[in-house]
């Protein structure tokens, strides 16, 4: 397979994969290289198409250009701009970052997916807990925008400053990259899972105890099919569930925060004790009895034939998407985290199917700090969760709203989209014509868009005149207008 096809293969993880049946992968190597099938070539130049990226990095927004350039805007202190400077003013034009090209056969390394952390998703200005990571088209991981105080950068003794992308040493070829609010997780083509970052005393690294953390990536599992993450936890699908074998099926680790408080129990089993070691979820493993035997698969990609295609979580709950598009939720009902009626703590802590709309299944789930966004099979976005801190978009008008939403509600003001993401208390969606729509801008309910997360142009930025902004188009380069 040519390197061009490998780029196409890894482009599937850039955020446009859909939950559809796929042909099983026959070999370990193919789990990485053959991802190109049924994936459109997206690396065309010149281009101005950008895909917004899901992160747990509050105050900062990111997107990937089709040629693999990283766009960063909003808060850019601590080196988050990635351009070698310590700080860039939030009102400055969007920063554009390219990954180092050393050793790349084409002489141009491209980012295909981003992840980001900021402790519990809202301490954006603390470089000890904040950082960005990029997965490249040749399976490397690069980090920048933080420091090593809490092991977030995952690299020590590097000649590359943390204000620029520097490679994280991970054996093999990385095929997927996700993060919790404080820990990065990387899956290789051979099914090895590595973690690094800040465990929060909650076991979020999965490295053996609630406080364990390594300065460089540590391998916590082998034989992993796919991975997912919530604010305070990780999940791994480790092959088909084998009765009597607790090392198979869906494993989880991290914070099980009390009797339905905050996100509740990520296990789905109403377990109320945190785990620093990957542990089987009985409830979720019921959905991984077949199709999960390949290793190193991007969850939800065309190569994913497992019964569970997505595992995500936000501050008040967890979500899973099954192969048929069924959406399962569990967590804290009192904080609008379950998208369903109150069934009591035990029931709330167990995965239960919810309906978006008649005949509509779930394709993609995106988490913000306090509310959840789901792109349905009708290409429309549905939302539920706590708006009283986050100030999300009103479902029918698109204006900023503080009214909490109990059950999945269509954001009709947004219209059809190809992709939706969350970051901090804000969100973004990509329309079919390449327009990015932004909303929010707050950091824990009252920053007044200080970091210019919601802006109407790459060069221009909206003024900080409101606690939160409603749906706002980000005008692409070359067609900009003056800020309102």
Residue 94's φ and ψ, nearest 5 degrees, are: -55, 135
Quote the tokens at residue 33: 């290289």
Residue 284's φ and ψ, nearest 5 degrees, are: -75, -30
Is the predicted pLDDT of residue 34 greater than 70, yes or no?
no
Cβ neighbourhood burial of 194 (10 Å; 0-12, 13-18, 19+)? buried
Neighbours of 419 (CB within 10 A): 23
pLDDT of residue 21: 28
pTM score of the predicted model:
0.91
Is the predicted pLDDT of residue 449 greater than 60, yes or no?
yes
CA distance 36 to 298: 12
Cβ neighbourhood burial of 338 (10 Å; 0-12, 13-18, 19+)? buried
Q: Pick the residue with more confidence: 258 or 42? A: 258
Residue 402's φ and ψ, nearest 5 degrees, are: -110, 10
Which residue carries 């200005």 as its tokens? 125
Q: What is the mean pLDDT of residues 273-280?
A: 97
Which bin fits 98, alpha (ψ -120 to 50), beta or left (φ > 0)?
beta
Tell me: the pLDDT tens digits for 383-440?
Answer: 999 999 878 999 999 999 999 999 999 999 999 999 999 998 999 999 998 999 999 9
Q: Pick the residue with more confidence: 464 or 242? A: 242
CA distance 355 to 140: 38
Picking from 113-122, 245-254, 373-382, which range would have the lowest pLDDT averaged per residue?
Answer: 113-122
Could you tell me which of 152, 14, 13 has the C-alpha nearest to residue 80?
152
Residue burial 74-105, b: 16+ Cβ < 10 Å; e: rest: bbbbbbbbbbeeeebebbebbbebbbeeeebe
Cβ neighbourhood burial of 27 (10 Å; 0-12, 13-18, 19+)? exposed
Cβ neighbourhood burial of 62 (10 Å; 0-12, 13-18, 19+)? buried
Q: What number of CA atoms fall less than 13 Å from residue 83's CA on the CB side? A: 17
pLDDT of residue 195: 98
Quote the tokens at residue 53: 């990226």
CA distance 34 to 12: 11
Could you tell me which of 38, 86, 44 has the C-alpha nearest to residue 69?
44
**Strand partners of residue 118:** 130
Strands 352-354 and 233-238: unpaired
pLDDT of residue 42: 33
Is the predicted pLDDT of residue 41 greater than 50, yes or no?
no
CA distance 462 to 51: 21
Q: Pick the residue with more confidence: 329 or 107? A: 329
Is the predicted pLDDT of residue 484 greater than 50, yes or no?
no
CA distance 235 to 222: 13
Q: What is the mean pLDDT of residues 260-275?
A: 93
Could you tell me which of 222, 196, 240 has the C-alpha nearest to residue 296?
222
Cβ neighbourhood burial of 292 (10 Å; 0-12, 13-18, 19+)? buried
CATH class of the domain at 3-474: mainly beta
Q: Pick the residue with more confidence: 179 or 257? A: 179
Q: What is the mean pLDDT of residues 132-154?
A: 97
Cβ neighbourhood burial of 18 (10 Å; 0-12, 13-18, 19+)? middle
**Strand partners of residue 367:** 372
Q: What is the mean pLDDT of residues 61-66?
A: 94
Residue 363's φ and ψ, nearest 5 degrees, are: -110, -40
CA distance 123 to 198: 13
Confidence of residue 39 (pLDDT cuts 50, 70, 90): very low
Is the predicted pLDDT of residue 54 greater than 80, yes or no?
yes
Residues 6+ apart with CB under 8 A from 211: 199, 201, 276
Residue count of the chain: 484
Q: What is the DSSP string of 160-172?
A: S-TTS-EEE--SS
Q: Where are the domains of the chain?
A: 3-474
């Amino acid at each position: 397979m040519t390197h061009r096809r490998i780029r196409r293969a890894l482009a599937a993880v850039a955020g446009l994969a859909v939950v559809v049946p796929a042909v099983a992968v026959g070999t370990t190597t193919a789990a990485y290289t053959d991802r190109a099938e049924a994936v459109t070539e997206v690396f065309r130049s010149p281009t101005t198409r950008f895909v917004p990226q899901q992160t747990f990095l509050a105050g900062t927004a990111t997107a990937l250009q089709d040629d693999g350039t990283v766009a960063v805007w909003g808060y850019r202190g601590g080196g988050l701009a990635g351009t070698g400077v310590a700080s860039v003013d939030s009102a400055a034009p969007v920063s554009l970052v390219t990954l180092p090209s050393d050793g790349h056969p084409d002489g141009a390394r491209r980012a295909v997916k981003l992840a980001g952390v900021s402790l519990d998703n809202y301490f954006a200005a603390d470089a000890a807990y904040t950082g960005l990571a990029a997965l490249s088209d040749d399976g490397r991981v690069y980090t920048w925008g933080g420091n090593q105080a809490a092991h977030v950068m995952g690299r020590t003794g590097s000649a590359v400053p943390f204000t620029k992308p520097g490679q994280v040493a991970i054996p093999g070829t990385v095929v997927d990259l996700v993060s919790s609010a404080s820990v990065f997780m990387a899956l290789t083509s051979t099914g090895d899972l590595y973690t690094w970052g800040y465990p929060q005393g909650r076991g979020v690294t999965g490295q053996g105890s609630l406080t364990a953390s390594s300065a460089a990536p540590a391998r916590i599992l082998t034989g992993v099919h796919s991975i997912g993450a919530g604010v305070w936890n990780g999940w791994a699908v480790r092959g088909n569930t084998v009765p009597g074998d607790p090392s198979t099926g869906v494993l989880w680790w991290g914070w099980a925060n009390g009797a339905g408080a905050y996100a509740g129990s990520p296990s789905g089993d109403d377990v109320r004790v945190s785990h620093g070691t990957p542990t089987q979820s009985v409830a979720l493993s019921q959905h991984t009895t077949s199709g999960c035997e390949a290793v190193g698969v991007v969850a939800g990609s065309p190569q994913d034939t497992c019964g569970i295609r997505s595992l995500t979580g936000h501050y008040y709950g967890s979500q899973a998407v099954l192969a048929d598009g069924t959406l399962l939720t569990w967590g804290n009902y009192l904080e609008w985290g379950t998208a369903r009626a109150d069934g009591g703590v035990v029931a709330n802590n167990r995965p239960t199917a919810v309906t978006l709309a008649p005949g509509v299944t779930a394709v993609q789930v995106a988490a913000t700090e306090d509310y959840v966004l789901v792109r349905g099979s009708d290409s429309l976005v549905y939302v539920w969760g706590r708006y009283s801190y986050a100030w999300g978009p009103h479902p029918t008008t698109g204006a900023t709203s503080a009214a909490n939403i109990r059950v999945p509600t269509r954001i009709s003001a947004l219209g059809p989209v190809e992709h939706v993401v969350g970051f901090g208390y804000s969100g973004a969606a990509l329309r079919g014509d390449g327009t990015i729509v932004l909303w929010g801008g707050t950091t824990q309910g009252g920053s007044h868009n200080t970091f210019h997360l919601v802006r109407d142009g790459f060069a221009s930025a909206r003024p900080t005149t409101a606690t939160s902004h409603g749906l706002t188009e980000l005008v692409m380069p070359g067609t900009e207008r003056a800020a309102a």
